[in-house]
């Protein structure tokens, strides 16, 4: 199982939000580029980037920082947040981002998912953000009437799904393992778990249900979990 350190971008800084709430922000670094270098030096094989400004503003932001990160590290990165149309998908992948994550747009515009997957195949992922079993959209500010499991099952063209339980995110209390397992059992795609991963036991539990990866943010920055511990648990 792969461990993906998260770099959440907001206002040009590396931050973390509790349950996606903008007012509950912690700034972990003024230099996301330096953080990317640090995770690569620590042995990360893949980085997870989130453009929070893009998610909230409904259009991409922080692209200059993403471009710089891609240019200074040798490991692949995936990016989500505010990617709403094919032009944005094209430009982000042309920057050198390895995988573009469609979130709100995937629910609102299924044709975009089909077009993007047809053109870019494994370089397209869909992020499913869940609140009480329902798909949340627009930077987690809105909750749809679509269940996460039903939505996941519809994504037949998608090779990678990133599943985040909003109530777990940033809480340092562990992931929603049961809900993640339901998604894994509903799809043939690889499922990367996100939200609340805090301990080696969390990683082992996700590995046991068949998660292909775990995205870890706050716990790595606070020191509740070291990257070397996470890697050892994943192996």
Q: How far apart are CA 40 and CA 79, in angstroms?
A: 16
Residue (of 193, 172, 173, 171) closest to 182 by Cα position = 193
Give the active site residue among 8, 51, 53, 165: 8
Q: Long-range contacts of range 53-57, CB-CB < 8 Å, 24 or more positions apart?
A: 53/9, 53/10, 53/11, 53/81, 53/82, 54/81, 54/82, 54/83, 55/80, 55/81, 55/82, 55/103, 55/104, 55/138, 55/139, 55/140, 56/22, 56/138, 56/139, 56/141, 57/82
* Token output for 165: 């339980």
- 77 to each of 72, 93, 96, 122, 161, how far by Cα in Å? 12, 10, 8, 13, 15
Give the active site residue among 30, 34, 74, 129: 129
Helix 86-95 with 63-72: angle, nearest 10 deg: 30
Q: How far apart are CA 212 and CA 191, in angstroms?
A: 6
Q: Is 8 a catalytic residue?
A: yes
Question: What are the backbone dihedrals phi and psi of residue 108, each rounded to the nearest 5 degrees, phi first?
Answer: -80, -25
Neighbours of 19 (CB within 10 A): 16
Q: Is 129 a catalytic residue?
A: yes
Report, as residue numbers or ranges, the catalytic residues.
8, 129
């Amino acid at each position: 199982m792969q461990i993906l350190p998260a770099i959440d971008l907001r206002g040009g800084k590396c931050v973390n939000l509790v349950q996606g709430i903008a007012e509950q922000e912690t700034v972990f670094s003024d230099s996301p580029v330096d953080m990317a270098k640090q995770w690569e030096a620590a042995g990360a094989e893949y980085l997870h980037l989130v453009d929070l400004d893009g998610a909230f503003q409904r259009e991409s932001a922080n692209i200059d920082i993403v471009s710089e990160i891609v240019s200074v590290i040798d490991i692949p990165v995936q990016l989500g947040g505010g990617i709403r149309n094919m032009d944005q998908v094209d430009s982000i992948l042309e920057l050198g981002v390895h995988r573009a994550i469609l979130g709100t747009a995937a629910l609102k515009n299924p044709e975009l998912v089909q077009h993007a997957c047809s053109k870019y195949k494994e370089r397209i992922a869909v992020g499913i953000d869940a609140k009480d079993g329902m798909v949340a959209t627009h930077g987690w500010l809105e909750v749809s009437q679509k269940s996460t499991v039903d939505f996941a099952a519809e994504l037949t063209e998608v090779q990678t799904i990133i599943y985040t339980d909003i109530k777990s995110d940033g809480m340092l209390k562990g992931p929603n393992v049961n809900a993640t397992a339901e998604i894994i059992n509903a799809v043939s795609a690889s499922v990367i778990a996100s939200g609340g991963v805090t301990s080696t036991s969390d990683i082992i539990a996700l590995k046991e249900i068949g998660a292909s990866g775990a995205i870890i943010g706050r716990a790595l920055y606070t020191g509740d979990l070291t990257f070397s511990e996470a890697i050892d648990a994943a192996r």
